């Protein structure tokens, strides 16, 4: 069984890596092939220069992602069959760690290694690609501060959560996976509740929306939609990036509506209202809860599978470890599952795109469809989003419908 798992894992890793590289190559070629002309539906609103800038921006990001794909595959291979995880496990044991402290140190060490592997790509993406195309507002100092804050929050929240998970895995018998699942669901709901008021303000400044006429327009929309929010806020997104967006976050009495300051600068009031109506469409169509439900079922299935594998010696041996245990099982499973599940990505992407169409339809009912079209065209242009994605690449990766299809459906509304 161990040999069979090793063979299957290597085959899946190779297939996933080749598939992701093939998709990326297709996407770059497709965007480049359509770089010379703006799609007919956008010729009156987006210049050829802006269209070509978006094509170049897309190509730069995807080429970096291709290097990340190869690096990530080699990293996973080194951790598992290359024996790095086993070395890490043995090293903590040699330092005198055992039991739950050993499990915490082992997985924390893996997290640190993963961060170090990702760091050069994050730096290049921020200070080379985003800088080259005029989006980066981040300073090296702010980057380091964000990194430190993220690490501190990860330790303060992540370590206690991990400790609870490992404790449940060890103490709750053969059905531990049900207890872990319930705990994980509860933690995620709690995170949704406290994120807007506790976590997000650590990274950005949120100020009440000051524009009285815009506030009146938005409050009228909220009343029509039957949506109650705890506040309308503007976030200093321009502190880090030139990209713009709007969103609502939290649930219950903690719901907040947040606008990036960059969005308010670029869109007219009626366009801002239309964008917000789209976001409210996600709420009214219960998309957040539907996605939570899908993820809850998926996590239950994965935890059940881990519950089956955790006592199987061939599971550890087949993935390069000789020491069984709760922490090694959790680490190996988290590394192996993405390798096997990537071909299923189109399912979640299709669900997300369906939700986007539904939210657009809702916005068209509550505001004028032409205002949402105008807002989207500006956002595509100003965020340098490609108007010509490769269709197959889009099926795997894109959570939003292609621009042309989305605009066409809105115009037909």
Q: Assign 209 a pLDDT band (cuts: 50, 70, 90).
A: confident
Which residue has better confidence, 238 or 278? 278
Range with the poorest average pLDDT among 72-81, 245-254, 342-351: 245-254
Which residue has better confidence, 102 or 245? 102
Q: Is 334 domain-assigned?
A: yes
Ramachandran class of 77: left when φ > 0, alpha when ψ lies in -120 to 50, beta otherwise: alpha
The span from the CA of 102 to the CA of 95, in Å, is 9
DSSP string for 106-147 = HHHHHHHHHHHHHHHHHHHIIIIIHHHTT-B---HHHHHHHH
Residue 276, strand partner residues: none
The residues, ordered by sequence, that sit 6+ positions from 284 with a Cβ below 8 Å of its Cβ are: 225, 226, 227, 362
Residues classed as catalytic: 279, 360
Coil vs helix vs strand at 45:
coil
Q: What is the pLDDT of residue 112?
A: 94
Q: Is 149 domain-assigned?
A: no
**What order of strands is seen across the sheet that includes strand 246-249?**
206-208, 232-235, 256-260, 246-249
Count of residues for the chain?
A: 413
Evaluated on CA atoms 368, 281, 239, 219, the torsion sign reads positive
The span from the CA of 201 to the CA of 258, in Å, is 12
Q: What's phi and psi for 289, nearest 5 deg?
A: -70, -35
- Are the C-beta atoms of 412 and 373 separated by less than 8 Å? no
The span from the CA of 390 to the CA of 31, in Å, is 7
Find where tokens 């509304």 sit.
Answer: 413
- Are the C-beta atoms of 275 and 372 separated by less than 8 Å? yes
pLDDT tens digits for range 148-181: 999 999 999 999 999 999 999 999 999 999 999 9
pTM: 0.90
Query: Domain range spanning residue 8?
Result: 1-136+267-413
Q: What is the pLDDT of residue 223?
A: 87
The span from the CA of 297 to the CA of 303, in Å, is 10
Q: Is 157 domain-assigned?
A: no
Q: Is 2 domain-assigned?
A: yes
Q: What is the pLDDT of residue 253?
A: 61
pLDDT tens digits for range 173-207: 999 999 999 999 999 888 888 887 888 888 888 88
Q: Strands 246-249 and 256-260: what pairing?
A: antiparallel
Q: Is 367 domain-assigned?
A: yes
Residue 258, strand partner residues: 233, 247
User: Could you tell me what percentage of the chain is helix, strand and coil, using 3-state DSSP and rounding each to the nearest 5?
Assistant: 75, 5, 20
Q: Is 333 domain-assigned?
A: yes
Q: HEC profile for 3-49?
A: HHHHHHHHHHHHHHHHHHHHHHHHHHHHHHHCCCCCCHHHCCCCCHH
Q: Is 125 domain-assigned?
A: yes
**Total of domains in the chain:** 1
The span from the CA of 182 to the CA of 173, in Å, is 15
Q: Is 370 domain-assigned?
A: yes
- Are the C-beta atoms of 330 and 306 separated by less than 8 Å? yes
The span from the CA of 196 to the CA of 256, in Å, is 7
Q: Which helix (H) or strand (E) holds 274?
A: helix 269-284
Percentage, residues of the chain above pLDDT 70: 99
Q: What is the pLDDT of residue 250?
A: 66
- Are the C-beta atoms of 221 and 367 separated by less than 8 Å? yes
In 302-408, the DSSP E strands lie at none
The span from the CA of 60 to the CA of 54, in Å, is 10
Q: Which helix (H) or strand (E) holds 235?
A: strand 232-235
């Amino acid at each position: 069984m161990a040999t069979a798992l090793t063979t299957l894992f290597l085959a899946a890793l190779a297939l996933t890596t080749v598939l992701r590289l093939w998709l990326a190559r297709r996407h770059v070629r497709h965007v480049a092939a359509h770089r010379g002309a703006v799609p007919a539906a956008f010729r009156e609103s987006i210049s050829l220069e802006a269209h070509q800038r978006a094509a170049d921006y897309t190509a730069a990001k995807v080429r970096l992602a291709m290097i990340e794909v190869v690096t990530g595959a080699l990293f996973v291979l080194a951790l598992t069959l290359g024996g790095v995880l086993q070395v890490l496990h043995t090293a903590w044991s040699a330092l005198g760690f055992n039991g739950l402290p050993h499990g915490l140190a082992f997985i924390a060490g893996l997290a640190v290694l993963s961060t170090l592997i990702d760091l050069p790509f994050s730096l290049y993406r921020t200070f080379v690609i985003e800088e080259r195309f005029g989006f980066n507002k981040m300073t090296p100092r702010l980057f380091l501060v964000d990194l430190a804050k993220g690490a501190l929050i990860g330790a303060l929240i992540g370590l206690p959560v991990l400790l609870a998970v490992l404790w449940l895995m060890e103490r709750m018998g053969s059905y531990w996976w049900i207890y872990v699942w319930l705990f994980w669901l509860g933690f995620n709901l709690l995170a949704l509740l406290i994120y807007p008021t506790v976590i997000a303000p650590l990274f950005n400044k949120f100020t009440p929306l000051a524009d009285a006429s815009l506030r009146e327009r938005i409050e009228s929309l909220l009343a029509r939609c039957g949506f109650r929010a705890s506040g309308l806020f503007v976030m200093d997104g321009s502190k880090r990036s030139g990209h713009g967006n709007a969103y609502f976050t939290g649930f219950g009495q903690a719901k907040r509506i947040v606008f990036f300051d960059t969005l308010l600068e670029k869109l007219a009031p009626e366009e801002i209202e239309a964008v917000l109506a789209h976001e409210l469409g996600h709420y009214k169509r219960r998309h957040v809860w539907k996605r939570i439900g899908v993820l809850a079922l998926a996590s239950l299935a994965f935890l059940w599978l881990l519950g089956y594998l955790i006592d199987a010696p061939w599971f550890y041996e087949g993935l390069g470890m000789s020491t069984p245990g709760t922490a090694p099982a959790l680490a190996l499973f988290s590394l192996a599952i993405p390798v096997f599940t990537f071909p299923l990505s189109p399912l979640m992407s299709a669900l997300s795109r369906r939700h986007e169409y539904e939210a657009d339809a809702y916005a068209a009912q509550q505001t004028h469809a032409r205002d949402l079209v105008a807002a989207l065209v500006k956002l595509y242009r100003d965020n340098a989003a490609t108007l010509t994605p490769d269709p197959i690449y889009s099926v795997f990766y894109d959570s939003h419908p292609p621009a042309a299809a989305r605009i066409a459906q809105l115009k037909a509304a």
